[in-house]
Amino acid sequence: IKNIKKHNLPNEIENLLVQYWDTGGSKIRDYRILDQHYSGLVDHIFLQLRPSKKVLLLFPDNPKERSRKNFTYDQEICGISILRIGFDEVHELIENVAEYFGYMPTLVQTSTNLYQLGDLRPFRNRLLSFLFEAPIKIDPDGKRAQNISGIRMSQKEDGKLELQKMYLTKQKLKEINRRDRSFLERVKEALRILIYR
């Protein structure tokens, strides 16, 4: 890692960072730079049928190579494994740094279970849970789009639970923005009338 000494980090933290960088962190960074600035990494993807079905995502042998025409795949580097291992390694680095500063790992519960909601009486209309995701999807022509989807869990007056799948497309978002803009313009006009009266 260039210029790590200028940050005056404790030796233990510096050693953790250098070890992470030397054992895989720099390669993950190189693949990120390649994917983000030069060429998509998911272009070399296959469905293996034998001996068992699985998706193969191959990464170029040399992530420092910037030209797609010079990519080679002789080493058959499994991109899914590289990313999974890279995630585990950065997670371990973060935990080790946190432990150095006195923070111990704790279990984080990410799922919603009905028992977490407690007693749902008296029955009434209410939102119980809302889970959403906003992945960035890449169209076949290379354009990036963000589609927001989610699941809403609510309770009705009769006590029944309702699950609703929600999806916000780019077109729907434009309609909402147009409607909001129209509303804001009306509010501005009303304020102008009140101010200059």
pLDDT of residue 22: 93
Q: Are 166 and 151 in contact (CB under 8 A)?
A: yes
Distance between start and end Cα atoms, the chain = 65
Q: Which helix (H) or strand (E) element contains residue 162?
A: strand 161-168
Query: Of 152, 151, 104, which Cα lies nearest the Cα of 127?
Result: 152
Residue 37: exposure state from Cβ atoms within 10 A (0-12, 13-18, ≥19): exposed
> What is the average per-residue pLDDT within 23-29?
91
Check whether 131 has a pLDDT greater than 60. yes
Q: Are 19 and 1 in contact (CB under 8 A)?
A: no
d(CA 152, CA 130): 5
Q: How far is CA 21 from the centre of its chain?
A: 22
Residue 80: CA count within 13 A, CB half-sphere: 7
- Percent of the chain surpassing pLDDT 70: 78
pLDDT in tens, 91-107: 899 999 999 988 887 77
| Residue 41: other Cβ atoms inside 10 A | 20
Residue 120's alpha-carbon distances to 50, 163, 165, 170, 187, in angstroms, are 51, 16, 22, 36, 40
pLDDT of residue 184: 64
pLDDT in tens, 33-88: 888 888 777 777 888 788 877 888 889 999 898 888 888 989 988 888 888 899 88
Verdict on whether the full-model pTM lies above 0.85: no
Instruction: For residue 129, name the pLDDT band (cuts at 50, 70, 90).
Output: confident
Instruction: For residue 135, name the pLDDT band (cuts at 50, 70, 90).
Output: low
Amino acid at position 159, single letter: G
> What is the average per-residue pLDDT within 129-140?
70
Residue 46: CA count within 13 A, CB half-sphere: 12
Q: Give 103's DSSP letter.
A: P
d(CA 99, CA 117): 32
Instruction: For residue 16, name the pLDDT band (cuts at 50, 70, 90).
Output: very high
Q: Are 63 and 44 in contact (CB under 8 A)?
A: no
